[in-house]
A and B are shown apart, each in its own frame.
Chain A
Amino acid sequence: MSGGLAEGRGDAGFARHANMLRQVARQLDDWIAAQNREARREGLPTIRSCHIRVVGQTALLEVGVPLTLVATRDVDVTADYESAVEAEFRRLLRMKGRELNPLGHEIWMPRETRYSMLHAGRSVELSVADPEAVLVSKALKAPDKNLALIIEYLARGPSTRFLTLAKKYRINLEQFL
């Protein structure tokens, strides 16, 4: 069974968005380093390191899955950052024309989700959810909104992992057909 989500789409549209999150994570790391230098000089508490996990359509865009993707400018993440880091992350995303979804942390993801590290810096780790887990989340929680996407994926030949997860979470794939 194919389910070849590893090979990227590789067109100009994708190229514009690829690596956006890596750049933002690097900038966020630099910002935290500068804030912490300042805090140490003044004997104040430093900002603790954080892990940002990207889910949703942005995760699919970022890894360049070979599916037709249409996304709003929202970036959905779950993260353990402090509010000052969140505000800076929001500002950096905005500079790239993206918006941090305030409800992103409410998005359900399967327990089996694998996250690949896009950036492992001194204070910021940023990883993206694997495409199959994102598609399972979409198929279960928002089937109508993602009908065309799921159909395209099924037409390409779903991976064994996707089918296993779909079975585990009782997703009725017939509803898409």
Chain B
Amino acid sequence: MSEKNSDLRARAKARHAHFARRRRDPRYQRVIGRFKAAKLLITNDEVPEHREPITVSDTLWAGEVEPRLIELLPAAILKKPSLFVDIESLPHDLASVVGAIRRHETPPPLRGIPGENLLHWVPRIGHRGKIPSRLKSFRFTAEDLALLAELSRELDLSETETLRQALRKLAHASDVNTASDRE
């Protein structure tokens, strides 16, 4: 082995020791164990699976060793929120990412992971193909509301589902393609 390569290996060993220590840390083990149990990650390491909730801060910490955790985190928060105990108080950068995904926008990068990679997981976690719905407010007249309530009763649908169906019928009547038509 050349001197140069021997030096490379020695320095790699020192850095590897740092990562190995982190991997033995209970926080890393808990996070990986929960992601494994949720069928989000696979490892060849003997990390015990469990179903106890974990914290977002531990996940971000463990993500410094295993960036795939960061890549999955925003989608997991949106699609499998019961994994975490503390999603009400997200760090600013993570909250921005989650907010952008909720608005159906490409999120900014998160701790070195490009926004497109974060978005990639949203339809692939939890209910397959489902993207979180977004809250939007409208002002209706009393007559509109009475009509919506009446239709909802008649069709035995929620008011939201009634509006969704009405939109699709309107699109169909106006020859406008919906996202599901385009698939």
Contacts and interface: CB of A to CB of B under 8 A. Distances in A.
B124 interface: yes
Contacts of A1: 1, 5
> Which interface residue of B8, B12, B16, B47 has the most chain A CB atoms within 10 A?
B12
Interface stretch (B35-43, B52-60, B95-103, B174-182): B35-43
Contact of A154 (B9, B40, B67, B121): B9
Contact of B39 (A12, A69, A97): A97
Interface stretch (A28-36, A129-137, A144-152): A144-152
Nearest to B18: A151
B46 A71 contact: no
A116 B51 CA distance: 38
A176 B41 CA distance: 24
A13 B11 CA distance: 29
A13 B66 CA distance: 17
Given A69-B43, A72-B72, 10 more contacts: A17-B44, A68-B45, A70-B43, A71-B42, A99-B124, A145-B113, A148-B66, A152-B16, A155-B13, A177-B12
Nearest to A146: B67
Contacts of B32: 70
B26 interface: no
Given A144-B112, A145-B68, A155-B15, A11 B44 contact: yes
A173 B15 CA distance: 13
A5 B6 CA distance: 18
B42 A155 contact: no
24 contacts: A1-B1, A9-B44, A11-B46, A13-B45, A13-B46, A17-B44, A61-B44, A68-B23, A68-B43, A70-B41, A70-B43, A70-B45, A70-B66, A71-B68, A72-B40, A72-B41, A148-B19, A148-B65, A154-B16, A157-B1, A158-B5, A158-B9, A173-B8, A177-B8
Contact of A177 (B1, B15, B47, B124): B15
Nearest to B41: A70
B12 A176 contact: yes
A147 B113 CA distance: 13
Interface of A: 1, 9, 11-14, 17, 61, 64, 68-73, 97, 99, 144-145, 147-148, 151-152, 154-155, 157-158, 163, 173, 176-177
A152 B13 CA distance: 7
Contact of B42 (A61, A64, A173): A61
A64 B43 CA distance: 11
A14 B42 CA distance: 10
Contact of A157 (B9, B39, B124): B9
B16 A151 contact: yes
A139 to B, nearest CB: 12
B44 A176 contact: no
B94 to A, nearest CB: 18
Contacts of A152: 12, 16, 19
A144 B68 CA distance: 10
Contact of A151 (B5, B15, B42, B68): B15
Contacts of A176: 12, 15
